[in-house]
Structure 1
Amino acid sequence: MRAVKGTDTGPERALRKSLFKLGFRYRLNAKGLPGKPDLVFPKYRAIVFVHGCFWHGHDCPRGRRLPKTNAAYWRRKIARNIERDRETIAALRRHGWFVKISWECDLNNSLKEANKIAGWLLSRRASRRAP
């Protein structure tokens, strides 16, 4: 497990590259915010987490697959990760941030996912301007 990276993963890099090409600028792994978000868009007061399906218990084939050895340990670990994610998102929302989760399985086409996030960010910007 030591080789598993927490930041700068392949899917995260692909998404960042696509968002940068679309003209979006962001901060990485902001330490001053709960949960050290992967991408922070201060201009939009928005945050994107890039979650690995297995580690964060996503309901997809990769996320539902548990190791055959020590399955009880992994169920507890992933359940704790899911609970921690909920607490982190709630804390960020209490501080006025908009939060989006981008799942590893959705990043097979990073440009498509980047376009979804771009639309989401622009809608956040528009909603902040509305009277």
Structure 2
Amino acid sequence: MRHRAHAVELGRIRGDIGRWARQTGVPEDVTIDLQLAVGEAVANGVEHAYGDDADGTVEVEMELRDGRPPAVLVRVADRGAWRPEPESPGFRGRGLLMIERLARRVRVQCSPGGTEVCFEIPFPA
């Protein structure tokens, strides 16, 4: 999926995830975790990767991995510039923490060409 890096796209992305999950047989509880984690990763891209006037995109890739346990592999990427975290985020700045609680093998890779967040959400045993 490729969407504009704009907050109004978050609802569309959640809907796309829900449809994909139903088509691929992802359990409902995994779908909810997937929507939350991907939503946080996309929101980070929307908020931090591009300036207020930028016309950027956010890409979301998902793959169902068969295995023990099965899992959904996720990649969320933007082409914006990484901005350092503020000294005091206040009530904000919990997106990556939430992703880490919902997923495993969370990896954030920053480069001059953008930021990529990868993780997997396993099915319950």
Report TM bin, short chain. Answer: 0.3 to 0.5
TM-score (norm 2): 0.34
**Bigger Rg over Cα:** 1
Higher helix share: 1
Higher strand share: 2
TM-score (norm 1): 0.33
